[in-house]
Structure 1
Amino acid sequence: MAIPAPEDTYDRVLLAAEELFGEHGFAGTSLQAIADRVGVTKAALYYHFRTKDELLDALLRPALNDLDRVLEVAESRRGTTARQRLLFEGYVDFLIRYRTLAVILDRDVAIGRHPAIQPRLASITARVREVLDDVDDSIDYRVSTAVAMGGIYSAVAAFPELPDDELGRILRGVVRKLLGPRRRAPGTVAGV
């Protein structure tokens, strides 16, 4: 039997962790269970990850980096409408690209509250709110943007069987219908 290359073992450990976190949750998955799923010793797993926290960080880091890039693109645009449109489009694409992780985070809220992850998620959430919250928008519109963000996330978790392209098309259509044209708060003037 050939010994797997370290890179191959690293990727297999991440895949096994993702599967097991989805099946049993973060707290319900041991490093030994991950090593068993990969077919390596716990010592071989320790070569790549000393703790389950390190493994969680390595699993989520690429997704959170991509979400940072979605936000950077949206934040770089002038005009609230353009920023919001780019955020919603990017968010749909992001969640579809990371569907399995989205489902895990939806079902295991302990991961989102984990000290290794929570500060970064809080920062991302604050940046999302900055893009979405325009005090000159009507409260109806502002609530609609919040519902749209949460609804996109929930739908990705609720419909894992839908093909990516179909789910993306549906979600973009729902966002367009839900938000419609931006509505200004009473007493505000567009462009002021």
Structure 2
Amino acid sequence: MPDKTWTRIMDEARTLFSQHTYGGTSMQQIAAAVGITKASLYHYHAGKSAILVHLVRTPLAELEGVLESLHPEAELEERREGVLNGFANVMIKHRQTMGLLLRDASAHTEQTAEVLNQFQSLIDRAMDVLSDGYDDWRRRLRAAQALAAVADPITLFADIPADDLHAELVHGAHAILALRHR
């Protein structure tokens, strides 16, 4: 169980990364926000990338759980619904953290490549479900658009209550998946 200082480090880092970007936040700023020395901060984490990895670990595990909970023999619509609702829930629950992966290019570094690759793998697996495993680029495009519809807007509408935002995100994703090629 993490101690209070570790928890404060994570909370302050998440806030600072969201306000100033990952690249625009220094370890000194994090230490100052927590009220500890920079040397003490390094006692808890080897660097910013280690903090980011810890921040995204839980939401990525929850996204993995969404995909693992899908029953392969279930109807396509049920699996799609599971992906869309599950991803929307996780993205909204972890708005600030997931915003770092979605919108902060400075978080995409060599040191964070492993978690970014894990996130991309989860996106690819979700797209496979939404496109029903077809390689047709049009189906894959609609799947990518639908997934983006439940993920990308989360940081843009931070003031919208979670339930309302969830309903609209999933509604928009359904509209995208319902489009037919003409």
Same fold (TM over 0.5): yes
| Counterpart residue type for residue 98 of structure 1 | H
1:97 to 93, 98, 101: 93
Residues 1:41 and 2:37 are matched in the alignment: yes
Bigger drift between 101-110 and 39-48 goes to 101-110
| Residue in structure 2 matched with residue 161 of structure 1 by the alignment | 159
What corresponds to 2:70 in structure 1?
74
Letter in 2 for 1:37: A
Q: TM-score, length-normalised on structure 2?
A: 0.84
Partner residue of 1:144? 142
Q: Is the 8 A contact 2:31 2:37 kept in 1?
A: yes
% of aligned pairs identical?
29
Deviations along 1:86-121, one digit per CA (max 9) or x if unpaired, are 101101111111111233333312324532422212
CA, structure 1 residues 106+142, in 2 after alignment: closer, same or farther (shift >3 Å)? closer
Runs of 4+ in 1 over 6 A off after TM superposition: none
Greater Rg over alpha carbons, structure = 1
Aligned-residue CA RMSD (Å): 2.5
Shift of residue 125, structure 1, vs aligned partner: 2.5
> What amino acid is aligned across from residue 167 of structure 2 in structure 1?
R
- Deviation string for 1:132-173 (max 9, x for gaps)? 233669765543222111122222122111111111121222
CA distance in structure 1 between the partners assigned to 2:15 and 2:141 by the alignment: 35
**AA at the equivalent of 1:107:** R
Contact 2:102 2:152 in 1 (8 A): yes
TM-score, normalised to structure 1, is 0.80
Q: Which has the higher helix share?
A: 2
Conserved 8 A contact 2:131-2:142: no
Pick aligned residue for 2:27 from 23, 26, 31: 31
Q: Distance in 2 between matches of 1:138 and 1:52?
A: 40
Q: Structure 1: which 5+ residue stretches go unaligned?
A: 1-5, 186-192
User: Following TM superposition, by how much is the alpha carbon of 1:46 offset from its aligned partner in structure 2, in angstroms?
Assistant: 1.9
**Distance change in 2, residues 1:85/1:93 (3 Å):** same
**Partner of residue 121, structure 1:** 119
Q: Count residues with an aligned counterpart.
A: 178
**Which residue number corresponds to residue 171 of structure 2?**
173
